[in-house]
Structure 1
Amino acid sequence: MQKRGSFRKLNHLRQLESRLRPLILHAEEAWFRHILEGHCDFFEKIGAAAQSQGYKPLLIHAENLLSFELLDSNHRQIVIGPKRPKGAHIFHAQPSYLKGFWYLDPQGYYWNSSLVDQEFDPQWVDSNAAVGFFSELRDHVLRHNISKRAQDRQIPGGLAPADVAIFVQDIEKYRQSVHYLNTAEMITSACASVTGRVYIKPHPLQDAQALCQLQALCEKLGNAELSTASVHDLIAASAVVLSQNSAVGFEALLQRKPVLTCAKADYHHATLVCHTSKELQENLHRAAEVLTDFPFERYVYWFMGQQMLEPQRSDFPARAWARLLKTA
């Protein structure tokens, strides 16, 4: 028998004619069936919390014409997928940079989240709570080699030291550009700025043609080295971590590494942002000095522990529901 989740499929407007107020979830194809059959803990717990508060959790496919109509309504709504509608009662859900953490954000996720414009002040963050949170999270991630995508086994003793590790992405195809420097510009600028090894890790979604182009570029540079090693090994071996706005950039904060970003990112508070090749070269040389006293523990706690949500925590339903009611 097919499992049934806490969200019921929304087929027509008559389902909204009830004494129970609706909580409408708009899901893209990749998530729709998964949520409908109750396989996503994040939404199962939100659905249960909604029911306990007198709401009716309803699920609609994001490409359904009715979905577009409902987004203009005043109902409380959640969107998961690439659509980024704005509204007083609309929230965006998405897995965050570290496994187990989720966005539930009124503006979007990743470089579109509300955190882009928020200020981070370490004085607002409890130091003891931050240190405990950071230590536990770091130990868990590194001990189990956890990342957003499967990694090669970690190498006993680690990798040879490098001046820079560059993590290539697949974001240059987007219609609305979010990057300041493309992959080739990052690699050539970094390799020209340092004398030591520069690790280059390809993105797993790159096709054969992109990989060949990347390999050809690296072969022209004397200190570039392609690697498919675990991101955690590459981070540990490198003095500086460089990406456009990769999740790996955030993972590097767990190892207290200086991070340079070359695209719009919502964790920019913890990085040196490079808009040009000149800025990248300058930041590579000053990164260690500028970021040596950065409060990594407080930042990771502020970002992940306070801004994101964890379905596995006992207070998750209450925190999620409080956030959804903020605009009530």
Structure 2
Amino acid sequence: MSGFTFHLPGSVLRDRAEMKPYYVKLTEGLAARGHTVGLALHNRETLLAEVAASTNFHIVDHGAARHPRVLNTGIAYVYPFWNLDPWGIRALSSIAEKPFDPSSIDKEQAIAFTNRLRKRWVIARKSRYEQPMQRVEVPADCIAVFLQSEGHRDVMETCHLDLRQLLKSLMARADPRAIIVKPHPRDHDPTTRRFLNRIAGRDARIRIVDANIHDILAKAAVCVTINSAVGIEAMMQGVPVVLCGKTDFHHCAVTVKTPAEMEAGLNRAIATPWPHDAFLYWYFGMNCMNAGKETLVDDFLDRVAGTGFALSP
């Protein structure tokens, strides 16, 4: 049978109780079928050497390694979906380069699929990070801005505009609409808060809020972010999205790469009838792994076989 090595965080190797259900299902499912399964510490510096020294197929948690016997995996923005990808996860995944053709997507399947997403996230008012349940009044037809922590490595690697450039380019527009800004819950940098308070004091359109993501989106004319998962959540509500960073879900949004592009980008996003249902079905249902499906192990093995790796019977 085939051999698999899962490269996981040290916390999992120290305590198997820390292993996410996705990995439990895969490792136990593969072992039950007779495959050899090993666990290793994910070390970015030594990973490719470890792969080269082995004949196993390698699964890398939060990886961005490229090798014929490697697939990188991680949460694909919202549960229960995971990237399992030859390039990386989320913004770095190969989905970014795949063509999306909404006319090829079954409309009824797409609607049913996206309605299930809406029920789990929008109607339940839940997100990747814990959200306030208390409702806050948000101005209608606002520009909703969702910030990310610039201390996060993946954000700095993939952004076209940082949060200051993003906000200043919005403030430079002659647009009376309210600009609702939600800081990232994990951004504890005091300089960010001082900057936000300063610009809010100078521009009456800007309002800093810590409201529930879905309550803000329900009133938004457009969602602006670097490459946050909130872009996906905006699509669930049919809200146009402007991205200011590299993503693998740019197909159904406008990407702005310089402050000078913000005006035209925002207008184009608002004016475009986006096929959100078809896209969400294509992205998650057709390009990601569903950890909740009973066929997870079979789907995993199909993805491995698709790389050209010869699975032993």
Provide the residue aligned with 1:324 in structure 2: 304
Number of matched pairs: 304
Write the letter of the residue equivalent to 1:80: D
Quick check: 1:172–1:182 contact (8 Å CA) kept in 2? no
Matches within 5 A, 1:190-201: 190-193=170-173, 194-201=175-182
* Alpha-carbon distance change, 243 to 32 in structure 1, aligned in 2, over 3 angstroms: farther
- Larger relative contact order (CA 8 Å, sep ≥ 6): 2
Counting only pairs closer than 5 Å after superposition, residues 1-328 of structure 1 correspond to structure 2 as 20-33=1-14, 36-37=16-17, 39-63=19-43, 67=47, 69-72=49-52, 73-81=54-62, 83-155=63-135, 159-171=138-150, 174=153, 177-193=157-173, 194-207=175-188, 208-290=190-272, 292=273, 294-327=274-307, 328=309
Distance in 2 of aligned mates of 1:300 and 1:51: 32
Q: CA deviation at 1:74?
A: 3.6
How does the TM-score come out when normalised to structure 1?
0.86
Q: How many Å separate the matches in 1 of 2:237 and 2:45?
A: 46
Amino acid at match of 2:271: E
The alpha carbon displacement at 1:264 in A equals 0.4
2:180–2:206 CA contact under 8 A, matched in 1: yes
Q: Secondary structure at the match of 2:40?
A: strand
Per-residue deviation, residues 68-123 of structure 1 (Å, max 9, x unmatched): 53222442010003x42211110111011112111111110111101111110112
The structural deviation recorded for 1:30 is: 4.9
Q: Is the 8 A contact 1:101 1:311 kept in 2?
A: yes
Please list every run of 5 or more consecutive structure 2 residues that lacks an aligned counterpart in the other structure: none
- 1:97 and 1:136 mapped to 2: Cα distance? 16
Amino acid at match of 2:294: S
1:147-169 C-alpha deviation (Å, 9 max, x unpaired): 1100001528x522143000001
Quick one: which amino acid aligns to residue 214 of structure 2?
H
SS in 2 for 1:57: strand
Deviation at 1:279, TM superposition (A): 1.2
Deviation at 1:124, TM superposition (A): 2.2
Q: Contact 1:102–1:308 at 8 Å: present in 2 too? A: yes
CA distance in 2, matches of 1:309, 1:264: 22
User: Is 2:181–2:207's contact at 8 Å kept on the other side of the alignment?
Assistant: yes
TM, length-normalised to structure 2: 0.90
